[in-house]
């Protein structure tokens, strides 16, 4: 770590639990962010600002006027551009030291595996991914991401926001007792829940996306206690948080036979 980095990240390095070792862990880390919209924008922004060395952004959409109410990496001048390209340019403007890889694709089982294990759009071999942030907006993609993270042994930070409600959880199936996303939700759950259909309050996605970034930093740096095994729910109308303890489902079709390291929560 050079002198400029020591100064840039000094406010988090001075935290006793974090220190230089925590910052170095972030600088060495690669995070895959799926979705460059309402949740992905604040999550990516704070991870970039905190010094995560490489971000991989996946989204197949282009910036629209209605996105600007909540997707804070995009500007009016970005309307019509690919969201991942717009987000990449904003993130590099914030922190020129980080690397940002982009994929303008609709996620499938095959191309997700390519991102996790193969090459980027330029044919370069990927650095090993350390953590995945699910910032997408539909259940089928969330189940796909969940399965891929179980198979790859990657921690998954999941977030969702709709209307005035949000939630955050960490699913880290490297731990023997950790549930996975499908232990909590079953395939076939309501696909009609989306911001386009139901609306969302703009600061809410900032709150949840920022929380996802915080949990990612804690997992990457090995500090504090992550939300693994817990689900945080926020009601924006009453400004109240509540927490649910999550248990692993031994009959879960996604993770019942998963390999684990044997670590406890």
Tens-digit pLDDT profile for residues 36-66:
999 999 999 999 999 999 999 999 999 999 9
Identify the CATH number of the domain defined by range 3-245: 3.40.50.720
The edge-to-edge listing of strands for the beta sheet with 30-34 is 99-103, 54-58, 30-34, 131-134, 156-162, 165-171, 230-235, 240-245
Q: Which tens digit of pLDDT belongs to each residue from 96-154?
A: 999 999 999 999 999 999 998 865 555 565 568 999 999 998 899 999 999 999 999 99
Average pLDDT over residues 73-83: 97
Where are the chain's structural domains? Answer: 3-245
In this predicted model, what pLDDT tens digit does every residue of 219-259 receive, in sequence order?
999 999 999 999 999 999 999 999 999 999 999 999 988 76
Percentage of the residues of the chain whose pLDDT score is greater than 90: 82
pLDDT classification of 186: cutoffs 50, 70, 90: confident
Cα gap 109→102, rounded to integer Å? 17
CA–CA separation, 34 vs 57, rounded Å?
A: 6
């Amino acid at each position: 770590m050079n002198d400029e980095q020591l100064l840039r990240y000094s406010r988090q390095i001075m935290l006793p639990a974090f220190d230089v070792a925590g910052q170095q862990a972030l600088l060495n880390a690669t995070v895959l962010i799926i979705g460059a919209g309402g949740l992905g924008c604040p999550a990516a922004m704070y991870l970039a600002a905190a010094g995560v060395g490489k971000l991989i952004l996946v989204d197949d959409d282009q910036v629209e006027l209605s996105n600007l109410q909540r997707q804070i990496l995009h500007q009016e001048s970005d309307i019509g551009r690919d969201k991942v390209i717009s987000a990449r340019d904003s993130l590099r403007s914030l922190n020129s030291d980080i690397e940002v890889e982009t994929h303008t694709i609709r996620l499938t089982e095959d191309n997700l595996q390519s991102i996790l294990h193969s090459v980027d759009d330029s044919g370069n071999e990927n650095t090993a991914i350390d953590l995945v942030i699910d910032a997408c907006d539909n259940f089928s993609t969330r189940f796909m991401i969940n399965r891929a993270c179980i198979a790859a042994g990657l921690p998954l930070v999941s977030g969702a926001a709709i209307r005035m409600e949000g939630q955050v959880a960490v699913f880290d199936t490297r731990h023997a007792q950790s549930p996975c996303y499908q232990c909590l939700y079953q395939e076939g759950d309501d696909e009609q829940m989306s911001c386009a259909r139901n609306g969302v309050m703009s600061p809410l996605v900032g709150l949840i996306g920022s929380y996802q970034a915080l949990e990612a930093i804690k997992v990457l740096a090995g500090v504090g206690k992550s939300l693994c095994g817990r689900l945080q729910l926020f009601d924006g109308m009453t400004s109240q948080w509540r927490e649910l303890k999550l248990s692993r489902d031994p009959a879960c079709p996604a993770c019942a036979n998963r390999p684990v390291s044997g670590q406890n929560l």
